[in-house]
Structure 1
Amino acid sequence: MMRLGITGMACVTLAWLGLCATAALAAEADPCADAVTTLAMRECLGKAYKTADADLNAVWKQVMASVGTADYLPAKERKAWNDELLESQRAWIKFKEHDCEAVGYEWWGGSGASGAIMSCLLEHTEARTKDLRARYLDR
């Protein structure tokens, strides 16, 4: 999924109203482009986020398994690597949650706030999954 920032989310919202001249761009960037109501958009984003989170969890398990089998490192260093990765994942989760909650304030009082938050969570999760795959699994 392409990153939908505030401009992308605004375009999607405006496209619902028929006001966005680049509705095709919004449809290309958003897998939920067929959603025509705020509720439908939230439901679609919620399902996409749930799928992305499951994918991240599966990749995370593979990453941790690869660290456990890194036989070129002594056991002490493998444990330290494991601990660092675990701590970095915890910090990433905290960052994702706070960063996306902050997005809600950009939409203060608007019906798009929860969709923007969900979109943020989805984007961060997909990016983290891509990063972990590239760093640890696609070698």
Structure 2
Amino acid sequence: MIAQKIFMAGLVLCCLARIASADDSGLTKEFAACMDASGGVTVEMIECIGAETKRQDERLNKAYKEVMAQLSETRQKQLQDAQRAWIKFRDAHCHFHADPDGGTMATVRTNDCFLSATASRAQELEGFKE
């Protein structure tokens, strides 16, 4: 029980650190406000992470379309192949975090993995825009 509370406190600190660097990764102010309001309650944190993942997925899709529009047909195929491979990697990697013995914290870690990976990929694709 004490170990679980210590782990939870550590996870909350990690999430707060991410909020502090939200501008660097492109995470939204809505996410920061939601996490602040969650008070470390697991269910509320998961809801915040889910909503932000949706926003970051929209950001990623927008960046992907914008980059595709400026590429030659050959480069479009390369980006499409790279994106499909990235999605497979992200999904496999993040699903690994869903440890069946990890309790609710495994769910938080899994959702956080998807958020982190999606925001990072969106930022990477935005760097390719002219």
TM-score when scaled to structure 1?
0.70
Alignment correspondent of 1:73: none
1:40, distance to aligned residue in structure 2 (A): 0.3
The 2-side partners of 1:103 and 1:65 are apart by: 35
Partners of 2:7 and 2:59 lie apart in 1 by 25
What 5-or-longer segments of structure 2 have no aligned partner? 20-31
Pairs within 5 Å for 1:124-135: 124-134=117-127
Letter in 1 for 2:108: G
Q: Secondary structure at the match of 2:104?
A: coil
Contact 1:11 1:26 in 2 (8 A): no
Q: Aligned ranges for residues 34-113 of structure 1 at < 5 Å?
A: 34-36=37-39, 37-67=41-71, 78-105=72-99, 108-113=101-106
Larger radius of gyration: 1
Contact 1:26 1:33 in 2 (8 A): no
Identical aligned residues as a percent:
27
- Number of residue pairs matched by the alignment: 111
Coordinate RMSD, CA, aligned: 2.5
Maintained 8 Å contact 1:45/1:118: yes
Q: Look up the match of 1:6.
A: none
Q: Choose between structure 1 and 2: higher helix proportion.
A: 2
